[in-house]
Amino acid sequence: MPSTPAEKPLSPVTPLDKAELKALAELLARWQPPQIGALQDRDRKNRKRNACTLADFDPDAKPFSSGDKGRDKAEVEALAMELDELQNLFYADKRYKLLVILQGTDTAGKDGTLRGVFGRISPLGVRTVGWKAPLEDERAHDFLWRIHQVVPGAGELMIFNRSHYEDVLVPPVNGWITPAQTAQRYQQINDFERLLSETGTVILKFMLHISLDEQRERLQNRLDDPTKRWKFSMDDLEVRKRWPQYQKAYEDLLNTTSTRWAPWTVVPANSKTHRDLMIARIVRSTLRQLDLHYPPGDPALKGVKIT
């Protein structure tokens, strides 16, 4: 008896064509540090020669903008709704996992990105973790132990508000670990993210880049607004005094952990609207390129009528 032919997987997603992919790649090339691989990891001279600085990235730039703020805001709204549909398909497909990392200085806009880009997505299959200083039981393990426990599962979209990169920012700036230990952590992070990538996790890493003046204005707004004052801490002022040290720490991690399997994208974020627009477009394009489809239905259900 001939077998019943398998139902063709349904996919309502139209992948980007070659021209769109090329245009996006060319646009992103300006905002992504040189990617490193196994060979470059061993070639320190080559890595140093290709190193970028944060001065290479203008936080006031708007490379994804139409030039009209109202139009950009409308596009962000449309993209947020499209991401909701794509996430539903992503969750049903369950062949992939997506990890979005939002990293940046205080007031860079991590919370705002969560609201503006991901706020309309159905909570089904979506999780967000806001990383704080490690607790006592977390410090009793290696620094990636707590991270690995909450990476996305099949069909999940996980968003990190801050991340394991705090462990190569705060400790080095405060002198809690040596340069050799910091370099070791860079390599451990690269290996960890390669493990995730090789087991089905797509990793998008966004460094939200703002200027010192922009941070001053945003911190002042927090102080002046009673509904936002709870987010302000006197420690924020102490951290701000170390702005040059933190900028250098960001440069070091960008140059050392932007890999083929988990590249960094620097997002000029002085404009909140542009920040959301750029990230939403990249996440949308990533999902559209995954060849997502709904799982085939049970052949036995064909023709069933509900009475």
Integer Cα distance of 229 and 241 in angstroms: 20
For residue 83, which of 159, 21, 29 has the smallest C-alpha distance? 159
Q: Is the pLDDT of residue 175 over 80?
A: yes
Q: Are 108 and 208 in contact (CB under 8 A)?
A: yes
Neighbours of 183 (CB within 10 A): 15
What's the whole-model pTM score? 0.90
CA 149 to CA 162: how far, in whole Å?
16
Residue 103 DSSP class: E
Kindly report, residue by residue over 117-161, the tens digit of the pLDDT. 999 898 888 999 999 999 999 999 999 999 999 999 999 999 999
| Per-residue pLDDT at 178 exceeds 70 | yes
- pLDDT, tens only, 41-100: 445 555 566 789 999 999 999 999 999 999 999 999 999 999 999 999 999 999 999 999
Domains of the chain by range and CATH?
19-132+140-294 (3.40.50.300)
Q: Is the dihedral of CA 170, 247, 227, 235 positive or negative?
A: positive
Q: What is the pLDDT of residues 248-269, one digit of tens each?
A: 999 999 999 999 999 999 999 9
E runs forming strands in 95-247: 97-104, 126-130, 157-161, 201-209
User: What strand order describes the sheet that includes 264-268?
Assistant: 126-130, 157-161, 97-104, 201-209, 264-268
